[in-house]
A and B are shown apart, each in its own frame.
Chain A
Amino acid sequence: MKYALVTGASRGIGRAVSLALAQQGYTIVMNYHSNHEAARQVAQEIEAAGGKCELCPFDVSNPEEVEAAVAKWTEAHPDDYISVLVNNAGVRHDNLMIFMQNDEWHSVLNTTLNGFFYLTRRLLKDMLTHRGGRVINMASLSGLKGLPGQTNYSAAKAALIGATKALAQEVAPRKVTVNAVAPGFVETDMTKDLDENQLKETIPMKRFGKPEEVADLVAFLASDKAAYITGQVISINGGLYT
């Protein structure tokens, strides 16, 4: 049995990634923080399509919860390991920096960056000893270009990109690849408060991306065909930023 853990799997890109990886034959370990109803719906979708999944709710930004959840999973699956990790969980608390509160800064960094660290560190050991694995980090256009009103989010995603490049070199000898995907504007809950009609005029493709398009890229990076791609940040943004 092949297992893929997707964080923030109950909505948006995480949901689409879970569905795509399930279609590739992975049993999806669906992490989410608190939206049980949304997670159950995604689980039903996966199962309706003939896939398999397990619900695994915990807060990625809490190291004790991460440790406990992984220990419980490992105990229940003594002969298996999670070979694909998609660090997708993220939150946005936009504000101009002069108005940004401490908790707006810290919560964004905690979920995106510290969450990546706590969970990846924990799952990496098995990938190394099994001589194979995929870590795919959900970065963002915001982390490459920087977006005004998102100093917290841009900082977190840029840091994730730096960590992706460093870790890729650390673990490459063990056939573990580490890559980042940097979506531009994608139709999800996270972008529903944005003015799509105005923003899409700035995109050469003249439209927002679909979560499924990002998911297909993640699924490719998770596949054997992407074995020689590591330490990369792959943009998927309709030509918005190159």
Chain B
Amino acid sequence: MERKEIEDKVKEFLIDDLEIEEEKIVPEAKLKDDLGIDSLDYVDIVVIVEKKFGFKIKPEEMANVVTLRQFCDYIESKVGNK
């Protein structure tokens, strides 16, 4: 999967499912502090990522993911151009 496609899909579910304002969705945005993603939102994210990207997020692998860019990096590491 191309990076652009990953970013588009992530942006789509942040807007549609987590109701985050589009203008806040920039690569440097911090998931917790800037986008307001809380621990309950992670439940949604785990389910959505599994549905859209076909893998299960492991909580320990998300431990160092702070920004949206890092989140997309993480997804890319799992599904990018394989």
Chain A residues packing against B (C-beta within 8 Å): 125, 128-129, 170-171, 173-174
Interface centre among A129, A170, A171, A174 (most CB of B within 10 A): A129
Residues of A contacting B: mostly: helix
Q: What are 13 A-B pairs at a CB distance below 8 A?
A: A125-B43, A125-B47, A128-B40, A128-B43, A128-B44, A129-B43, A129-B44, A129-B47, A170-B40, A171-B40, A173-B38, A173-B40, A174-B40
Chain B residues packing against A (C-beta within 8 Å): 38, 40, 43-44, 47
| Closest Cβ–Cβ distance, residue B9 to chain A (whole Å) | 17
| Cα(A170)–Cα(B41), bound, Å | 12
Chain B residue numbers with a CB within 8 Å of A171 are 40
How many Cβ-Cβ contacts under 8 Å join chain A to chain B?
13
| Cα(A129)–Cα(B47), bound, Å | 8
| Cα(A173)–Cα(B38), bound, Å | 11
* Chain B, Cβ-Cβ closest to A129: B47
Chain B residue numbers with a CB within 8 Å of A173 are 38, 40
Chain A residue numbers with a CB within 8 Å of B38 are 173
New A-B contacts (11) at CB < 8 Å, excluding given A125-B43, A128-B43 = A125-B47, A128-B40, A128-B44, A129-B43, A129-B44, A129-B47, A170-B40, A171-B40, A173-B38, A173-B40, A174-B40
Chain A residue numbers with a CB within 8 Å of B47 are 125, 129
Chain A residue numbers with a CB within 8 Å of B40 are 128, 170-171, 173-174
* Chain B, Cβ-Cβ closest to A127: B43
